[in-house]
Structure 1
Amino acid sequence: MRLLEDKERMIAFIQHDIPGLEDGNFQLKISQVITDDGGDKVSDETLTAAYAFAVTGDRFALSQPGQTIYSVYPAENATGRYGSVLPHVVFNKTSFPWTRTPLQEKSKRVVLKAGVDTDEDVPVWLTVLVLDEQELGGDQNIKIVAVRDLFPPSVVKESSLGDHYSYFYQLKDREVRPETMLEPGIMLTDSIQVLDIDTGLFRTLAPSVEDLKLMGHVRKVSLQDKATMPGISDVGTSEGRFSIVFGNRLPAEERKNYAFLVSLEGLEEFLPGQENFTLDTGNKLRLAVLKSWSFYTTGDNAQFVDRVNRLNGGEETTEAEVNEDLLLMTSFGLSVPEESMKEVRGALERGYVPLNHDLRSGRENDIFTVDKTVSWCRGPLVPYRVERNLKLPAASADYLLRFDPSTGMLDVSYASAWMLGRQLALQDKEFATRLFNWNTNREKAMRRQVERFELNERLELSPETELNDLLKNTIMSLKLRKKYDEEK
């Protein structure tokens, strides 16, 4: 097996990926002044034109969650020692955390000129709020509502917001059409998930604007020797770029925790450090939830070997220990009848299972037949140390079939692993393309070698004769012969 080089183990942390324009509505104004050769205006009237356009993007909900979010950590419904981990969300789109802003004043926002980057810290518009069951206050604070329920009732009569706060709190007691506050593609009747949280608790738990500048980044990682990821590692590239947004609070120990990816767009005044804005602590703040999940922090190790040990009721291991007894005495194993053969009992206890096996087709009297049998098969996780005496590489799966003389059955474990590995490899477009090119070039080289051998045989040449020199001499002789015949 080839060891990865340092550059193939690469991971790079990038400050941010700021888009050229944030999501929202924009207006482009163009003016033109006509002058003569002397620079004097031909007309006092300035020609102007205005064009309205919008940069659309997810705002209160994710239109395609599976394509936007790559993963969350801790995983949904996971159980383990997560008390020292900041929950976070990984996005496939690198600029997503910076497509909007929590800031209100446009003068504070970073606007990039074309082709110009910046080292200035830019706050993300998302954060991960982590609450335990007591802080959440029950499922009644997690609701499915419509976009109109984010507006004050003075703007949208049907709104259920009441006297609470939300993203359009500044529109209270103002006459404005709610549609003008939304971007194209977002309707007042669209369903969204929201979290109603006490304003005092939110200001205690929420990150400040300065915190939000440090709570998101981009990672560039190597995809070498990684599992195939649809749309990421199967597009012919060896590098992957992801953006990450994480929370600012560690999960509570020994209890169930809830994580909410919420939008902080335009909520600068609600964040810590904004004492000039007085909050009514008797009201709640309604936040749009783009992703929610829960997990359990038990205080137990979350490592794989610790989970296997707990299946056996064993004790946790330390870094200096090696657990050599991982026999799975659990209900997951196959039951073995008392009257079964010793060899069969031993195979089942070692992790093998009998499976139906269709052998390669045979031909008898011009009729193709399929022989059937039962063979042993196991997975890579076994409760004992395996001695690897394989001769690799193997030309086909048949080279890896093993015969068990004690039971008279075939062991197809390595053969099935070979087939599975080949199928997984061919799913990778980059690998499949390189393999096709390698096979094509090898076939061309073999064909050239055969043609050279036949020419040497027919022309009675030695193997050391260079065909290029021979062809040059032959062509020169034919030209001289032609010239001689013409002069004659």
Structure 2
Amino acid sequence: MTTKQTIVTTNDSPLFQVSASFVQHSLPGLSAGKYTVTAQQKIDDDEGASVTNGALPVVSHSFGVEGDKYTLPTRFIHSIYPAAGAQGEFSTALPQIVLKNAVKLPWIRTPYYHQEPQIRTHAYPTTNPTGKYDDDKASWLFIMVLSASDFDGTMPRQMVKKGTVADLIPDTMTVRSLGKAAPGKMPATKGYSSFSYVFESGETQPAGTELDPGVGYDGTDPISFIDIPVGLFAKLAPTIQDLRMMSHVRSVRMDNKALADSDVIDPEGEYAVMMANRLPQSLPTSELDNPTPGENPKGANAAMVVSLEYLECALRGYADTSYFKSTIQTNPKGFVRLVVLTKWEFTSYQDTSFEFVTLLEHLNERVPDEDDPESTPLDDPLMRLPNPPSYSQPTPAENTVQTMLSLGYVPMNHLTRVPDVTANGAEPIQTVSWYRGPLAPFVVPADADGPLGGGVQNSTVAHMVYSADALLKFDPDVGLYDTSYAAAWQLGRLMALNDQSFSTAYYQWQRSRVYSLRAAYEMDSVTQPFAPQREVSFALHELTKTRSGLPTDTLLQSAVSSLVMAAQTGGDNE
């Protein structure tokens, strides 16, 4: 089987063009790193003469700005697509990740080694003289999409290793570890690390140079990393121009979303969105049922958020005379060691049967049959179920079919939850049942006596439904179930549990009810008449008389037996 994964770039694809509904970026006040503020004061009199006999001494103050560098905390991840563990048709989907409460994270660091270009503000043409826009800023984060075919059949997750920051430092240099300089752990002869400034334009730092792991970090901090062969990295790596367009900010109106009464939110929320530049590898549908034994599925993909901080010299578009080109890429054992901040996996099938265009083309089977030239599509096809069949002399069963189809019902395969116990079997029953969606071609009257009520009820007892099976309606005339209400109940249940605010409140309510019932049971137990005071006193008196000469365990057994007998003859205290 031949598989293909496409690399999407800004040079030949419009996928990354910034839409007017998006925000280009959200720049931090200060990027992560070290800073020094220098101040010098000079005082002049009214005539401009120096009162301080020149400038006063220079005062300097150094400080650092921290920022996530080696991991992406889960609290910042709002959603990912495709979802972790998902299986489906993702052959045309670029994996992406949405960040919350970290809208500035993609731009808090930089992929540039040299001086980063200054972000300039431009005015729109005269058609919009008051409008302004900024230059795009390249992100230091990149979603790398990998599959087993990239590593000769080995799953990408098996290539990820655990280590420390020292594993990113060549062994010819040192890194600050616990306040001291410790040697790096990466063999410098086999490749180079994500600290690409070590190899700036072919100039390596002198041996023994101590490298800074970053403000707030230490050489012993744990990390995850992956070694990508230089040939593969050269194909996957984006350009600086790509990184300018692969992250953006999306503004969302939060007051239009379903919220709990106690929720307090800003009316407008901002989310940082990052997307990959490679389509996932997809397994053709024809091979789903015939996998090769012992091989990893060719549709399995891993999306990894990696750091490209300071990796300008290794990204596509570097000069042919660069150190990376002449020394690293030509090395058969060369690799690029990348920090993996987070990762997830999914499986993609090359199945177009559920694409929107395919559904429209095959609506009511009105696509011309290539094998039948006389087959032509109908005029004005309607987006509805096929018309009920017409019978000249319908039987009772055919009448039922006509009626049910005209009411919007369709027959569906139905696998029951409860097995057929009468046949001594353990397998669920495979049958056929009717199903109708929430939209009906007729007025649905309220049924007060139905499973959901709906009308004026004389009873104050609510209709409690504990499972979808309670809403299955059986039609004895045709011997089939109507699963419409059961399916709606199950769908509503899943949607409710998917709402984090509701499911959390529901869980807390359940737990409080359990605690209340347990407390009530315990209180009821301790308030029951235990035994007449006379019987208890008698038991204790007997034990006291015989205490001497009896083992401790015998005393305890006698005490328990006496108390149990007293409890069995319980009554009012005397």
TM-score (norm 2): 0.54
Aligned to 1:149: 167
Name 1:320's counterpart in structure 2.
363
Deviation at 1:152, TM superposition (A): 0.8
SS at the partner of 1:221?
Answer: strand
Report if aligned partners of 1:399, 1:415 keep a CA contact under 8 Å in 2. Answer: no
- What does the per-residue CA deviation read over 1:319-369, in whole Å, with 9 as the maximum and x for residues that have no partner? 735686573544x732233489xxxx99x9799xxxxxxxxxxxxxxxxxx
Residue of structure 1 in register with 2:214 after alignment: 183
Inter-CA distance 110–35: structure 2 relative to 1 (3 Å threshold): same
For the pair 1:129 / 2:173, whether they are aligned, the reply is no
Question: Residues 71 and 89 of structure 1 are in contact (CA less than 8 Å); yes or no, is this contact kept in structure 2?
Answer: yes
Q: Which moved more, 1:141-150 or 1:35-44?
A: 35-44
Q: Which has the larger radius of gyration?
A: 2
Contact 1:20/1:111, CA 8 A, preserved across alignment: no
Q: Is the 8 A contact 1:143 1:194 kept in 2?
A: yes
Distance (whole Å) between structure 2 residues aligned to residue 25 and residue 107 of structure 1:
16
The question of whether the paired residues in 2 share the 8 Å contact of 1:33 and 1:47 is answered with no
Q: CA deviation at 1:228?
A: 5.5
> Residue 168 of structure 2 contacts residue 184 of structure 2 at CA under 8 Å; is this kept in 1?
no
Corresponding residue for residue 165 of structure 1: 192
Q: CA distance change for structure 1 residues 79 and 417 in 2, over 3 Å: closer, same or farther?
A: closer
Equivalent residue of 2:71, what SS? coil
**1-side partners of 2:499 and 2:163: how far apart?**
45
Distance, in Å, in 1 between the alignment partners of 2:352 and 2:461 is: 41
Q: Does 1:246 align with 2:261?
A: no
- 1:87 has 2:172 as partner: no
Give the Cα separation in 1 of the matches to 2:352 and 2:56: 72
Q: CA RMSD in A?
A: 4.3
Which of 7, 15, 21 pairs up with 1:12? 21
Superposed CA offset, 1:223-255 (max 9, x none) = 4564669xxx94333433211111111112212
Q: Distance in 1 between matches of 2:24 and 2:455?
A: 43
Which residue of the partner structure matches residue 63 of structure 2? 53
Q: 2:301 touches 2:345 (CA, 8 Å); kept in 1?
A: yes
Partner secondary structure for residue 34 of structure 1:
coil
Which of the numbers 333, 337, 360 marks the counterpart of 2:421?
337
The 1:240/1:318 distance shift into structure 2, 3 A limit, reads farther
Distance in 2, matches of 1:15 and 1:125, equals 15
Q: Partner residue of 1:437? A: none
2:266 to 220, 229, 237: 237
- Is residue 97 of structure 1 aligned with residue 141 of structure 2? no
CA offset at residue 303 of structure 1?
6.0
Secondary structure in structure 1 of the residue aligned to 2:112:
coil
CA distance in 1, matches of 2:186, 2:222: 13
* Cα distance in 1 for residues equivalent to 2:56 and 2:455: 77
Look up the match of 2:309. 265
The aligned counterpart of 1:361 is: none
In 2 relative to 1, CA 60–38 (structure 1 residues): closer, same or farther, beyond 3 Å? same
Q: Report the AA paired with residue 166 of structure 1.
A: S
Alignment CA distance shift 1:425-1:181 (3 Å): closer
SS in 2 for 1:259: strand
Letter in 2 for 1:299: Q
Paired residue secondary structure (1:241): strand
| Matched residue, 2:231 | 200
| Structure 1 residues 10-45: Cα deviation after superposition (integer angstroms, max 9, x where no partner) | x93111111111111111111111222211222224
Residue 35 of structure 1 aligns with an amino acid whose one-letter code is D
Gaps of 5+ in 2: 1-19, 122-131, 175-182, 199-203, 284-298, 365-383, 386-408, 447-452, 476-482, 503-574
**Which of these residues, 79, 84, 88, is aligned with residue 76 of structure 1?**
84
Task: Give, in angstroms, the shift of residue 205 of structure 1.
Answer: 1.4
* Contact 1:398–1:415, Cα closer than 8 Å, also in 2: no
Within 2, Cα distance between the matches of 1:416 and 1:329? 14
- CA gap of 1:36–1:392, structure 2 versus 1, over 3 A, is farther
- Equivalent position amino acid for 2:194 in 1: Y
Q: Cα gap change, 1:393/1:290 in structure 2, threshold over 3 Å: closer, same or farther? A: farther
Contact 2:254 2:269 in 1 (8 A): yes
Q: State the number of aligned residues.
A: 360
Tell whether the 8 Å contact from 1:149 to 1:159 is kept in structure 2 after alignment. Answer: yes
| Aligned 8 A contact 1:397 1:418 in 2 | no
Q: Tell whether the 8 Å contact from 2:82 to 2:90 is kept in structure 1 after alignment.
A: yes
The alpha-carbon deviation at position 290 of structure 1 amounts to: 0.9
2:344 alignment partner, one of 293, 304, 308: 293
Q: Distance in 2 between matches of 1:270 and 1:90?
A: 26
Change (3 A) 1:185 1:278: closer
Go from structure 1 to structure 2 and tell me whether the alpha carbon gap of 1:238 and 1:36 turns closer, same or farther (over 3 Å shift).
closer
Number of the residue aligned with 1:28: 37
SS in 1 for 2:363: coil
